[in-house]
Structure 1
Amino acid sequence: MRTQLRPDRTILREGRVVEDAWIHLNDDDPLPPRGDVVVSLGRLARERDVLLARDGRLGARLETHERAEELAAAVELDALALVVIHVHKFVDGRYYSTARLLRMRHGFTGELRATGDVLPDQLFYMRRVGFDAFSLRPDKSIETALRALRTFTVTYQGAEDGPPLYRRRFADVRDPAA
């Protein structure tokens, strides 16, 4: 399944609006000789050596039902510059767990992007579990999404984006210069 892109190919990356320069391939699309490409987990598993040897960065696309462990078994995650998690329906929260596992258990440090049925009111929470880029549903406003990312400025619970509030406050008491 090809990721549904916004007609203008804009994404939010680290709180900024940028153009998506990646080539998103279907399983039956020819592989271009160069350029940054995103392929499905299945294609990555079948064509791993060819994909790793080509000129350009490599990204993998996970569908909501595919697990972080499957991706880690298919390729060394350091070889990937981008992992795109396709959200089929926003009510299916498995993508939150997949993102958290990729970051915390598997140590993925590249760009982690949510695409598909991505809504502005989810972005703050998605960022907390490790997403740093978002391709909104085509009918949703980028400006609304940017505002949603700034809705909350303090979090109580610890997550991918920082330790719990009590630890931050304790650190401030111990080191007033912090």
Structure 2
Amino acid sequence: MASIIKNRAIVNDDWTVVRPAEDGSLPPVNELPAGKVLVPLALWQAEREALSASRSAAEIGVWLAPDSEPADIAGDFDKLALIGVDFPVFRDGRGYSIGRLLRERYGYKGELRAIGDVLRDQLTFMFRCGFDAYALRADKDFDDALKAFDEFSVQYQGAVDNPSPLFRRRAAAAAAAADEVSA
């Protein structure tokens, strides 16, 4: 069984990622593998009723391509166990924006999984954008990848994990210290 990193731990992955065929065609719902499936947004949009009728919400997830619009899935959060975001190549950063939009604009609270060409160097940044699960590329070392989460002790920018940028955190700490001195 394959593994993923979820909530900073290596766990078994019991999901099957369904990809379109080389010609772009999507498989029929009755030919999907048994168990939990992570289907492309296009298949979900075309076969939402059939998928919901054939499986429980705990067995259905949808993955978004880099050019997908997160708003297209926002009304379906209660019907899905997880949302995946595909990173087809390392240099394609559109998935980071999709993660932030899902968390910040649309309020998605469930599992947000990075799939595709996911490498150790991306994990901290993905985490800051709201991802909590990572399907590393098959040739990568999971134990080494876990170390990525502890490499940076300070982040300058605000993000999903801490919306306040460093200058505001420092100003708040200075104001609190001044209040403590004057009290």
Determine if the TM-score, normalized by the shorter chain, exceeds 0.5.
yes
Q: Secondary structure at the match of 1:149?
A: helix
- Please tell me the residue identity of whatever aligns with 1:20: D
Matches within 5 A, 1:114-125: 114-125=114-125
Distance of 2:15 and 2:138 partners within structure 1: 17
Q: CA RMSD in A?
A: 2.2
Pick from 66, 69, 86 the counterpart of residue 67 of structure 1: 69
Q: TM-score, normalised by structure 1?
A: 0.82
Number of aligned residues: 166
Match of residue 4 from structure 1: none
Identity %: 43
Q: Any unmatched runs of 5+ in structure 1? A: 1-7
Q: TM-score, normalised by structure 2?
A: 0.80
Match of residue 164 from structure 1: 165
- Kindly indicate which of the two structures has a greater share of residues assigned to helix: 2
By how many angstroms is 1:81 displaced? 1.9
Matches within 5 A, 1:13-52: 13-26=6-19, 27-28=26-27, 30-31=31-32, 35-52=35-52
Distance of 1:43 and 1:66 partners within structure 2: 13
Distance of 2:72 and 2:90 partners within structure 1: 22
Distance of 1:31 and 1:55 partners within structure 2: 14
Which deviations, in whole Å up to 9, do the C-alpha atoms of 1:39-74 show, x marking residues without a partner? 1111111111232343351210112222212333xx
Q: Any unmatched runs of 5+ in structure 2? A: 20-25
Distance of 1:111 and 1:92 partners within structure 2: 21
Kept after mapping to 2: 8 A contact 1:90/1:117: yes
Matches within 5 A, 1:1-178: 8-26=1-19, 27-28=26-27, 30-31=31-32, 35-53=35-53, 54-57=55-58, 58-72=60-74, 75-162=75-162, 163-172=164-173, 174=176
Shift of the 77–103 alpha-carbon distance from structure 1 to 2, 3 Å rule, reads same
Kept after mapping to 2: 8 A contact 1:37/1:56: no
